[in-house]
Amino acid sequence: MAPITFLEAIKQAMFEEMARDPSVVLLGEDVGVYGGAFKTSEGLLQKFGWERVIDTPISESAIIGAACGMSYLGLRPIAEMQFIDFIACCFNQLTNFVAKGHYLWNAPAPIVVRGPSGGGVHGGPFHSANPEMYFLHTPGLKIVYPSTPLDAKGLLKASIRDNNPVLFFEHKFLYRRIKEEIPSDDYIVPLGKAIVRREGHHLTMLSYAAMMHTSLEAADALAKEGIEAEVIDLRTLLPLDEETILDSVKKTNRCLVVHEDTKTGGIAGEIAAILFEKAFHDLDGPLVRVTSLDTPVPYAPTLEEAFLPNAQKVFRAAKALAGY
Amino acid sequence: MPELGRKPKLSHQQCLDLYYYMRLNREVEATMTKLFRQNKIVGGLYSSLGQEAVSVGTAYALEKKDWMAPMIRNIGALLVKGVPPRDIFTQHMAKFTSPTKGKDGTSHFGDLEKLHIVSPISMLGDLIPVMTGVAMAGRYLGQKIVAMTWIGDGGSSTGVFHEGLNLAASQKAPLVLILENNLWAYSTPVGRQVPLENLADRAKAYGIQSYIVDGNDVVAVYTAAKEAVDLARAGEGPILIEAKTFRRRGHAQHDPAEYVPAQQREFWEKRDPITLYERFLLKDKLLDVKSKKEIETKISTLLDEDREFAENSPMPPPELAEEGVYCSGDDCHKIRPSWQRPIEELQPPKSSVEAVWNVAGFGRGITPGGGIAPIHFGDTAVHRRPENKPTPPGKPTLRKKAATNRASKPVSAGKTSK
């Protein structure tokens, strides 16, 4: 099979799940006639019709609320945020209504909320966000953030089939920039499992989404200096695969977390706490964080470059950590 | 002496049902007030005293297969839909035997499987898009259901009220929204909440039909609700019903509501919905002293039994606190829709979409819906603030779609209409 882009992987996952199961529907802004702002739903309306591919008003709370209500009758709606930044508009609906339903009154809400996230494409402060951590603090939600086309397709299919509300982040920098060959069969990638992308024994590098590729680039540069980094792609942030993280850190004794989200309150802090609780005696050095700055995402390319982590920043931090 | 506005188109039994549920609603709450004073209610207690006709009359218009999402003061709607009083008692007392096993209180519970009730949350308005989704899914599955939910005068100020009703309107969803205007949002009178005399006027902004009804007249409430439910089921939804009523107690038990003017309270106490209805039933010989006594005995026996059950129920075990955040899969919930239509219908071309590009109501004189366009090319149209006319009690007023209600005459080119 010819390699496909990340964007094509998303489209294929939705297409195949809708073809497989008539209870899967898609709703969001401009997802129908226009095929989505990034064309991830192009052709779905023509194939599945307007009852299953629903163009909505610009009403994020109503999109999430309606998706949740539809799920109560056994449907599995996919709700698209045109840009994931707009998920802030439906924060209440997600955190108070959708997330708490199963715990409180035994009402599962099998919905997927997906949308393009992340920076590096000069989208500015309102089209570049990584809002995953607002929701990591909400019991009842699952959070998926893939880094490759193969994973994107398999994880999206698994998310659609999951009985819980899943927030599915698609890093838009990756949409058209990476290609990968994927299996031709109906595969899924299970939620809650991290994957070791590169084996190494000097230090563990934890990352996800676009920063996973940055981490791999830095790991290649480190290898030239004799430092072998083990790069782990978290893939699912909630639930977090503690086992894979701990296994690696117990082997390498050093841990570096790379994420594009801002530093304060980012997942690196949570991982640090887990390591202190469960691997304190295995650590030979401090937990090191390479993250974006604690600022909004700035617009100008020079500013955004300063804001984001890159392979050089990761390389320098990793090299210092390896010295412990 | 105030009387009911119109005679019901109901069987004798249905008339008695309405009476039974209103009495049950009131007695359930009276029992809970006693429990509250005995310190047996864990959290707050919210009263719907004087609003029973709204909850009961609207919910009674639904069929068994229909869905509802009540608010905290719609205990009567829960009872009509089939929730036993013990569920309401155990919920308020946070007992392990309650529908949420003590994880939430008050009327915050639901039942997806049998009764088709969606639980409310404390943030107002969220139920409107959720029930729009329920209505849309029901239509998609061919179930011919109607979804009903309630919102207060205060809750109608939320952003999600607009988002939800607008989505419902643009989808023509079979949704009936009851706007229960009890004149007070906690301590804020409706006039400071909304600058409209009739909250049903909000319907015009969504191009949907609405009713204004005397919320203390159960027959008027039921009649309007039944019409609305039938219309919604026939594809004419969504429909907004404003029920004008009055919250006779404070926001919750702790609130003596001293901010409510005495005259206003007296006015509404004279229009007690149960007294009004009982007087009508007795006068029309639909109820006599004997059958009234029978109903009262039935209610007190049921409530004694259920109260006792609740009081004797255990609190949830502490280990429950950590359980049930996630659904573990098919072993936990088998999520399967109930298809009531052939799946082939869902595929194009039967479900294909036709793009419409003309601008409704502009430049052509006639709108696609058959109404008169308010504006021609080059015109300016002014919509003055409408003169509000109070609705006489007891008469449900059907208000047609906004599109057919607008400017009655076409405006000639180049002039400004007033």
Work out the minimum CA distance from B165 to partner chain A, whole angstroms: 9
Q: Do B337 and A163 touch (CB under 8 A)?
A: no
pLDDT at B414 > cutoff 70 = no
Q: What is the Cα–Cα distance from B333 to B327, expressed in whole angstroms?
A: 7
Pairing of strands B175-181, B184-185: unpaired
Residue A83 lies in a domain: yes
Cα–Cα–Cα angle for B249, B251, B257, nearest 5°? 60
> Is it true that the peptide bond before B238 is cis, omega within 30 degrees of 0?
yes
Residue B6 lies in a domain: no
Q: Do A62 and B335 touch (CB under 8 A)?
A: no
A40 and A113 share one domain: yes
Q: What is the Cα–Cα distance from A146 to A204, expressed in whole angstroms?
A: 19
Q: What is the Cα–Cα distance from B418 to B414, expressed in whole angstroms?
A: 13
Q: Do A65 and B335 touch (CB under 8 A)?
A: no
pLDDT of residue B411: 35
Reported as a single tens digit per residue, the pLDDT across B21-52 is: 999 999 999 999 999 999 999 999 999 999 99
Best of A56, A61, A92 to disrupt the B interface (most B CBs within 10 Å) is A61
Mean pLDDT, rounded, for A21-30 = 97
Best of B106, B108, B130, B350 to disrupt the A interface (most A CBs within 10 Å) is B130
pLDDT bucket at B3, cuts 50 / 70 / 90: low
A130 and A60 share one domain: yes
Reported as a single tens digit per residue, the pLDDT across B247-296 is: 999 999 999 999 999 999 999 999 999 999 999 999 999 999 999 999 99
In chain A, pLDDT over 90 holds for what percent of residues?
A: 98
Residue A189 lies in a domain: no
CB burial class (10 A; 0-12, 13-18, 19+) of residue B195?
Answer: exposed
Residue B299 lies in a domain: yes
Residue type, A98: V
Q: Domain boundary at A134, A153, A180, which?
A: A180
According to DSSP, the residues that pair with A257 across neighbouring strands are A206, A289
Reported as a single tens digit per residue, the pLDDT across B69-111 is: 999 999 999 999 999 999 999 999 999 999 999 999 999 999 9
pLDDT of residue B346: 79
A171 and A296 share one domain: no
Reported as a single tens digit per residue, the pLDDT across A105-122 is: 999 999 999 999 999 999
Domain enclosing residue B358, as ranges: 353-418
Which residues in chain B are contacts of A51 at CB distance < 8 A? 140, 346, 351
pLDDT at B395 > cutoff 90 = no
> Is it true that the peptide bond before A309 is cis, omega within 30 degrees of 0?
no
Active site residue A127: yes
Annotated catalytic residue within A127, A171, A213, A259: A127
A217 and A170 share one domain: no
Domain enclosing residue A20, as ranges: 4-180
A29 to chain B: closest CA residue:
B167
Q: Do B167 and A92 touch (CB under 8 A)?
A: no
A16 and A123 share one domain: yes
Mean pLDDT, rounded, for A87-114 = 98
A231, A196 contact by CB (below 8 A): yes
What is the DSSP secondary structure assignment for residue A126, as one 8-state letter?
A: T
Q: Do A59 and B163 touch (CB under 8 A)?
A: yes
pLDDT of residue B404: 39
A304 and A246 share one domain: yes
Residue A30 lies in a domain: yes
A169 and A259 share one domain: no
B358, B368 contact by CB (below 8 A): yes
In chain B, pLDDT over 90 holds for what percent of residues?
A: 79
Q: Please name which of A233, A148, A155, A141 lies closest in space to residue A189, comparing C-alpha atoms.
A: A155
CA dist list (Å): B301 to A277, B38, B295, B319: 57, 21, 10, 35
pLDDT of residue A318: 98
Reported as a single tens digit per residue, the pLDDT across B193-223 is: 999 999 999 999 999 999 999 999 999 999 9
pLDDT of residue B117: 98
Helix (H, G, I), strand (E, B) or coil at A86: helix
Which residues in chain A are contacts of B325 at CB distance < 8 A? 102-103, 139-140
pLDDT bucket at B406, cuts 50 / 70 / 90: very low
B297 and B366 share one domain: no
Reported as a single tens digit per residue, the pLDDT across A278-319 is: 999 999 999 999 999 999 999 999 999 999 999 999 999 999
CA dist list (Å): B193 to A56, A69, B48, B71, B364: 29, 28, 20, 19, 38
Residue B7 lies in a domain: no
Q: Do A62 and B118 touch (CB under 8 A)?
A: no
Work out the minimum CA distance from B146 to partner chain A, whole angstroms: 13
Question: Considering only A39-53, A78-92, B389-403, which range has the smallest mean pLDDT?
Answer: B389-403
pLDDT of residue B410: 35
A267 and A317 share one domain: yes
Residue A221 lies in a domain: yes
In chain B, pLDDT over 70 holds for what percent of residues?
A: 82
Residue B332 lies in a domain: no
pLDDT bucket at B238, cuts 50 / 70 / 90: very high
Mean pLDDT, rounded, for B338-364 = 67
**Mean model confidence pLDDT for chain B:** 88
Q: What is the Cα–Cα distance from A100 to A106, expressed in whole angstroms?
A: 9
A104, B103 contact by CB (below 8 A): yes
A38, A9 contact by CB (below 8 A): no
Q: Domain boundary at B274, B303, B322, which?
A: B322
